[in-house]
Structure 1
């Protein structure tokens, strides 16, 4: 995989735009208070000035029926000189519907930070196709607007990756984790995290980071924006596998789709979110027994899934898995000064 163009880093006082690319719930009556709290968190923790893209708060029904409006919002944010970064409100399930309305040249000509996860993977693939790095990490509603506020781990990695042009370095596991809390009257139920687990592999491997939410990436296989084998070659894959679907066959189908495309055989290593035991067994079954990749390093339980907290993964950045010490490091900056 070749390096991607890095966007400019964020600074306190910068203006960022929040956007509803995949799901439109941020503008629904039962969610607008949570969105407003997330906006406040961005101001208080990072000193950012937050504006909404023109259609982002028009609600789930309107945005589902008008995918072109969502695409126009992205084009607006990219070409607006005031906007220094684009933070996605939430995931969803139909980001691929926007592809006919997006202009790759606008992304390439206006490289800006795009932060989000889950179905936002569709747009990370679009940015990769355009040659621009983007960032798999916290969405506004699910991660930043938690009822008890932005957690320190997620804040640390947003700041370290998006606000600094220095080498990122080792990405330590979180000390505690919790399921996303959607009830504003309740606090997050934190449990102790067990850290990273090496499922297989030895020594050190390096490669450029490429990946996202498997279910969303599976939807765009066969499109021109899905990475070709030259991009997957010698990469370190990061995969948010299975979790949001809760169905074992969905996990199996996701992994076998990537296996059938040869992607695991092109890669130098694999980073995975934490999963339930059955999904974890399916991962080992496909990688080790069906694909026969017994030496492929697989590091498990990274904070890149549908839970809190979250780290931030810069697509295209050079990274390392150290199997002997069970560590993961990013060997360069995610943004430029």
Structure 2
């Protein structure tokens, strides 16, 4: 895998909008996120799409792709972070300059609809990052616990070689209305985090991380941007549901499709992010669906499956580096990243 160079304070990050033009509608939320990135020590360059009109962005996927291409081509840019998710970034993939991206590996992070880009870049051979966006994650950074802030800065700047994925004591689901400027940087009341659930599997296994938002991945299936069969060998697939809260029955259909594609026969494990907006009963039903489809319908009862992890559409978020070796230890109930996500160069 092509790893991005290690990040340092003073490095320059490009901020851009490959999906929804949220900053044009909620500039106060966006500017708080930019301010927090600068407070971490980054130099932030706002690309044209970062604050472009949301309607104009929707109608111009080529413009959004151009910002991506330009950011990878610009030698002064050390990394790229998306402003927010959305629902149609899949439309920009045909306009991505694949050779340009492959020849200029850089830190690229986003989540939700940015799954189209993180997974595509990973298929091109790059390590990419599923993690906080400017408006959803960095804007609220000061509302999160000190332990999370230490984790995030440590991940970004220390490039640890190997470490156990942390479990944070509390989590937040959603944000107070962004229409109210006084809610800038705020999160909803915390809930107790009881930690991940190892719902099936035993022993120790490992594989390269790959995945993202399950609804977004559905938009890629059947296209030339979907992985070929051999790509799935020994991967650790991670999935999370969006704030749209898809019904458990719908998730069952999507999982069944992975089974029919032969994915569960090839991968090493499945990690599932904490679902946003689900009741405890719905969370339990989702976990039952995971075992029903993977174990009973497709006979993979030994495949490790871990749920309620700290990534996806609840906060704070773990950074999930696609292409990096992840170890699942079902006996000790631990997850470890086994290598640095960054190069030493």
Q: TM-score range by the shorter chain?
A: over 0.9
Contact 2:21–2:49 under 8 Å retained in 1? no
Normalised by the size of structure 1, how large is the TM-score? 0.93
Partners of 1:147 and 1:84 in 2: CA distance: 21
1:128 aligns with 2:122: yes
Equivalent of residue 9 in structure 1, options 6, 15, 25: 6
Equivalent residues in 2 for 1:26-175 (5 A)?
26-28=23-25, 31-44=26-39, 46-146=40-140, 149=143, 151-175=145-169
Contact 1:237–1:271 under 8 Å retained in 2? yes
Normalised by the size of structure 2, how large is the TM-score? 0.91
List per-residue Cα deviations over 1:31-86 (Å, max 9, x = no partner): 10110000111111x20011111222112111001111100010111111111000
Partners of 2:148 and 2:110 in 1: CA distance: 12
Deviation at 1:149, TM superposition (A): 3.8
Name the SS for the 1:141 alignment partner.
coil
Equivalent residues in 2 for 1:321-336 (5 A)?
321-336=328-343
Label 1:147 to 1:82 Cα distance change in 2 as closer, same or farther (>3 A): closer
Contact 1:96–1:219 under 8 Å retained in 2? yes
Partners of 1:187 and 1:102 in 2: CA distance: 34
Deviation at 1:187, TM superposition (A): 4.4
Name the SS for the 2:50 alignment partner.
coil
Count of aligned residue pairs for this structure pair: 331
CA RMSD between the two structures: 1.7
Question: Which runs of no fewer than 5 residues in structure 1 stay unpaired?
Answer: none
Question: Which residue number in structure 1 is paired with residue 280 of structure 2?
Answer: none
Question: Which residue number in structure 1 is paired with residue 21 of structure 2?
Answer: 24
Deviation at 1:292, TM superposition (A): 1.7
Deviates more, 1:234-243 or 1:121-130: 234-243
Deviation at 1:163, TM superposition (A): 1.9
Equivalent of residue 303 in structure 2, options 289, 296, 301: 296
List per-residue Cα deviations over 1:289-333 (Å, max 9, x = no partner): 211211111111111110101011111111100000110000000
Partners of 2:41 and 2:142 in 1: CA distance: 19
